Amino acid sequence: MKSHTPKAAPHVTQNEALIFERSQPGRTGYSLPPLDVDETPLDELVPEEFRRDDELEGLPEVSETDVVRHFTRISTWNYSVDLGMYPLGSCTMKYNSRLNEKVARINGFANLHPLAPDAEAQGALQLLHELQEHLAEITGLPGVSLQPAAGAHGEMTGIMLIRALLDSRDGVAESNSPRRNVMLIPDSAHGTNPASANLSGFKVKTVKSTAEGLTDLEALRALCAEGDIAGLMLTNPNTLGLFERNIKEICGIIHDAGGLVYMDGANMNALVGVARPGDMGVDVIHLNLHKTFSTPHGGGGPGSGPCCCTKELEPFLPTPRVVKDVRGGDETYKLDFNRPQSIGRVKAFHGNFGMAVRALSYILTHGRDGLREATEAAVLNARYIAQGLKDDYDKPFDSPPMHEVVFTDKRQSRKGVHTLDIAKRLIDYGFHPMTIYFPLIVQGAMLIEPTESVGRGELDQFIYAMKQIAREALEDPETVLNAPHTTRIGRLDEAAAARKPVLRWKAEEQVSAA
Ligand SMILES: *Cc1c(COP(=O)(O)O)cnc(C)c1O
């Protein structure tokens, strides 16, 4: 093992050796009590042929403090929602209350066996049923399945419902009549929309946006006239952060063409408690519990993407459904598998149950007024940033944004400073970068979503940082172009990054060695 002698304490030098490099022969991190039973020979435990011959070789020999401090130091290199504002547009990186985490860890919920019979799982089934009812109320769509495990999974489930309804309505199975096969998707859509449509066997046609950033109704009508329309997948507010104010007309056009409207509800943080997709004419929607309803995300899951639909689509929802049985004065809950028109299961057991617990806890602790207030604060915060930065950055759309606002690098790029550079420089000011180069239809996009979790003080700090960067881009572009300057790993050559990241301290060592 290579020995390692840092010049000062590792958290000062920023020089963190690998846990392997910290290894010292003979060090251990545990001490077991003396054996008070007969030792079982290894052969009786694991037969020879199943044993690895590299046993323990190369594992680091370290003390408990070595391990705890090493990983604690590394943990401080991460940015997180608990550390500060996380303005990643389209992701709704809100702060999630610890209370919801605590509720999800209640033993009866956390340790319930997924195969427990209905009679022994009444509390969990009741929780799922209540959450379904709340989501139905929030979306204005009465049929709810909690099975889908992510937003994209909810999309796929939703358009499979559309497929099933159209086939049954048009009698495809009996008559061999042609299937309606075209799914219309605006060019501002999240990439998962066309992917879900394609995966579910639809042919995707793109609807363009107007200069105002909304769905082009003329283009939509023209596409509908071509026939074969199965439906439309529409995000509202759209990924430009704008409310599609013609949504009722859009739904009318699709319904008149014989299709159904799927709404991508990942942006519901702008609508909850204020407006309901069901009232706008939408037939089916998915929600991202891991954006809007308090499941922490960003680490790769688990998530939850419930699907909510009209009465007309409800028979096709995945099995089993959680239903309430009222007999005499007794209410019991059960899983109903007898759904002959169902598209079948899309996820094992009840979906990601822990996410359902968090979501219900979030909904109940906020209440109706609280949910509305969260939405209003999310929109107000985005508008405050829109207003605060409009003199420094190009804002391609005039309309006031909903929960997120898009700017571009148009002014800064004249000095050779691009969106990527601005995002990197933001790190030096202590913020996680915004979403960059999305939506794709906006050149040099910076999509900023503050969420309701930040107060005015933090918004002002963010605006200050962005204004400083705009000034630097004009007066001292090199500082922005070489950012970040305060992190352990400096600016990567993005093209070469995948091949060979450069550690700042290594680069510095090489400089001092030379
Ligand atoms: C996040 C998001 C999705 C996909 O959600 P996942 O849970 O990541 O699959 C879909 N559409 C929009 C608009 C989103 O923001």
For residues 478-498, give the mean pLDDT: 80
Residue type, 129: H
Ligand 1 atom 7 nearest Cα: 151
Q: Which sign does the torsion angle of CA 108, 112, 116, 117 carry?
A: positive
Per-residue buried b or exposed e for 52-61, using 16+ beta carbons within 10 Å of the residue's own CB: eeeeeeeebb
Domain positions in the chain are 99-366, 370-498
Ligand 1 atom 5 nearest Cα: 151
Question: pLDDT per residue over 106-122, tens digit each?
Answer: 999 999 999 999 999 99
**Could you tell me the two tokens for 140?**
């204005």
pLDDT value at position 225? 95
Q: Ligand 1 centroid vs 240 CA: distance in angstroms? A: 14
Q: Ligand 1 centroid vs 229 CA: distance in angstroms? A: 24
User: How far is 76 from 66, CA to CA, in rounded Å?
Assistant: 16
Q: Is the pLDDT of residue 161 over 50?
A: yes
Q: Ligand 1 centroid vs 290 CA: distance in angstroms? A: 10
**Could you tell me the two tokens for 193?**
């929309």
Atom number, ligand 1, closest to the C-alpha of residue 192: 10
Closest CA to 385 of 406, 413, 361, 369: 406
DSSP state of 40: P
Question: pLDDT per residue over 237-280, tens digit each?
Answer: 999 999 999 999 999 999 999 999 999 999 999 999 999 999 99
Q: Is the pLDDT of residue 174 over 80?
A: no
Contact (Cβ atoms closer than 8 angstroms) between residue 424 and residue 484? yes
Question: pLDDT per residue over 51-94, tens digit each?
Answer: 877 655 678 999 999 999 999 988 888 888 989 999 999 999 99
- Between 3.90.1150.10, 3.20.20.140, 3.40.640.10, 3.40.109.10, what CATH number should domain 99-366 receive? 3.40.640.10
Pocket test for ligand 1, best of 88, 90, 199, 346 (most atoms within 8 A of CB): 90
The full DSSP string for 351-379 is: BSHHHHHHHHHHHHHHHHHHHHHHHHHHH
For residues 414-420, give the mean pLDDT: 95
User: How far is 237 from 243, CA to CA, in rounded Å?
Assistant: 4
Which helix or strand (DSSP H or E) is residue 469 part of? helix 456-475
For residues 346-359, give the mean pLDDT: 95
Q: Is the pLDDT of residue 496 over 70?
A: no
Ligand 1 atom 8 nearest Cα: 151
Look up the pTM and report it.
Answer: 0.88
Q: Around Cβ 199, how many Cβ atoms within 10 Å?
A: 14
Question: pLDDT per residue over 377-406, tens digit each?
Answer: 999 999 999 999 999 999 999 999 999 999
82 half-sphere exposure, CB direction, 13 A CA radius? 7
pLDDT value at position 513? 42
Q: Ligand 1 centroid vs 419 CA: distance in angstroms? A: 22
What mean pLDDT, rounded, does the chain reach? 91
* Cβ-based neighbours of 82, under 8 Å, separated by 6 or more: 95
User: How far is 469 from 476, CA to CA, in rounded Å?
Assistant: 9
User: How far is 404 from 88, CA to CA, in rounded Å?
Assistant: 9
Pocket test for ligand 1, best of 92, 94, 190, 295 (most atoms within 8 A of CB): 190
Q: Tokens 């604690």: give the residue.
A: 72
pLDDT value at position 51? 82
Atom number, ligand 1, closest to the C-alpha of residue 235: 13
Q: What percent of the chain has pLDDT over 70?
A: 91
Residue type, 147: Q
* Cβ-based neighbours of 46, under 8 Å, separated by 6 or more: none
For residues 488-503, give the mean pLDDT: 61
User: How far is 98 from 109, CA to CA, in rounded Å?
Assistant: 16
Q: Ligand 1 centroid vs 190 CA: distance in angstroms? A: 7
Q: What percent of the chain has pLDDT over 90?
A: 77
Pocket test for ligand 1, best of 94, 185, 192 (most atoms within 8 A of CB): 192
- The pocket around ligand 1, CB under 6 angstroms, is made up of 90, 150-152, 190, 192, 235, 239, 264, 266-267, 288, 303, 305
User: Please, which pLDDT band fits residue 287 given cuts at 50, 70 and 90?
Assistant: very high
Q: Is 195 helix (H, G, I), strand (E, B) or coil?
A: helix
Atom number, ligand 1, closest to the C-alpha of residue 305: 7
Q: Ligand 1 centroid vs 265 CA: distance in angstroms? A: 8
The full DSSP string for 99-142 is: HHHHHHT-HHHHT--TT--GGG-HHHHHHHHHHHHHHHHHHT--
Ligand 1 atom 15 nearest Cα: 90
- Superfamily of 370-498 according to CATH: Aspartate Aminotransferase, domain 1 (3.90.1150.10)
Q: Ligand 1 centroid vs 286 CA: distance in angstroms? A: 9
